[in-house]
């Protein structure tokens, strides 16, 4: 697929995905969502030696300032449901991706932008980053998973407050609430996100993928997260990486994982 709104740069096993609609503050239109779905659903799985993915926005003003309102201002209830479902399906591809996905939030992450950041496994925020779910100002609610993921990160009480007041919070408050993992100087978001992926990359890749699956299982309806953990633990026991990790521990050396 030829991407119009995504810039993909791969270096040292890390793919940096930049949403490039700077004049529109990187708003998520249908084309951008389709491209994100294709990348995380197909293209990214074919990148050899991939360590992880960084998601960011073009320019200094916005990570993603929201969904493109012009595309859904006249939707019927039935069309609105399909619109939200398609967005959730794309973000599930990100949340369930087997390698670490880190959002490098470099400005406004509002509405769909905040939802995109939350779908990533980890979030690094620049000092000027702003987060919020202001959909009630439009007579709407979040549709891409915002009401569910925000609770997971900051708890029901504060999530309800932010969702109902449409308040926008800064990076420091987001960090204190547990919405982001770290706050870094503006302009250093991608660099720090890359460093985080590099730190994870020296661990056993198979185990990392099972960590992602097991943690996600806690929140997925119909899944028993504890049983998923048991199953994943058993799978890890059959890997070459486990044998290498155990041997390295006994021999007091660093493990050399091969992802097998």
Q: Please give the sequence-ordered ranges of beta strands (E in DSSP) within 94-220, or none if there are none.
A: 101-105, 108-110, 122-126, 130-132, 169-170, 182-184
Are the CB atoms for 40 and 19 separated by under 8 Å? no
Q: What is d(CA 13, CA 15) in angstroms, rounded to the nearest whole number?
A: 7
User: Does the annotation count 79 as an active-site position?
Assistant: no
Are the CB atoms for 29 and 6 separated by under 8 Å? no
Q: What is d(CA 43, CA 231) in angstroms, rounded to the nearest whole number?
A: 28
- Could you tell me the two tokens for 211? 């960590």
State the catalytic residue, choosing from 11, 79, 95, 135: 135
User: Does the annotation count 229 as an active-site position?
Assistant: no
Q: What is d(CA 83, CA 86) in angstroms, rounded to the nearest whole number?
A: 5
Q: What is d(CA 10, CA 16) in angstroms, rounded to the nearest whole number?
A: 6
Residue 55, φ and ψ in degrees, nearest 5: -115, 130
State the catalytic residue, choosing from 115, 195, 240, 244: 115
- What is the set of active-site residues? 115, 135
């Amino acid at each position: 697929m030829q991407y119009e709104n995504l810039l993909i740069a791969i270096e040292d096993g890390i793919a940096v995905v930049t949403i490039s609609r700077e004049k529109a503050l990187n708003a998520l239109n249908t084309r951008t969502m389709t491209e994100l779905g294709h990348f995380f659903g197909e293209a990214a799985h074919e990148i050899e030696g991939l360590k992880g993915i960084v998601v960011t926005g073009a320019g200094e003003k916005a990570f993603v300032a929201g969904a493109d309102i012009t595309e859904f201002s006249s939707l019927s209830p039935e069309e609105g449901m399909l619109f939200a479902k398609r967005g959730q399906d794309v973000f599930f591809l990100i949340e369930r991706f087997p390698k670490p996905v880190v959002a490098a939030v470099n400005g406004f992450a509002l509405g769909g932008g905040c939802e995109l950041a939350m779908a990533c496994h980890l979030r690094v925020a620049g000092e000027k980053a702003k987060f919020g779910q202001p959909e009630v100002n439009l007579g709407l609610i979040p549709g891409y998973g915002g009401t569910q993921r925000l609770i997971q990160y900051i708890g029901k009480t504060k999530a309800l407050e932010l969702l109902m007041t449409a308040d926008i919070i800064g990076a420091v408050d987001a960090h204190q609430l547990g919405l982001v993992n770290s706050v870094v100087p503006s302009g250093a978001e991608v660099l720090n996100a890359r460093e985080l992926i590099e730190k994870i990359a020296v661990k056993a890749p198979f185990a990392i993928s099972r960590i992602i699956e097991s943690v996600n299982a806690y929140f997925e309806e119909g899944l028993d997260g504890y049983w998923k953990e048991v199953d994943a633990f058993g799978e890890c026991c059959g890997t070459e990486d486990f044998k290498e990790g155990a041997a390295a521990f006994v021999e007091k050396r660093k493990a050399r994982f091969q992802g097998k």
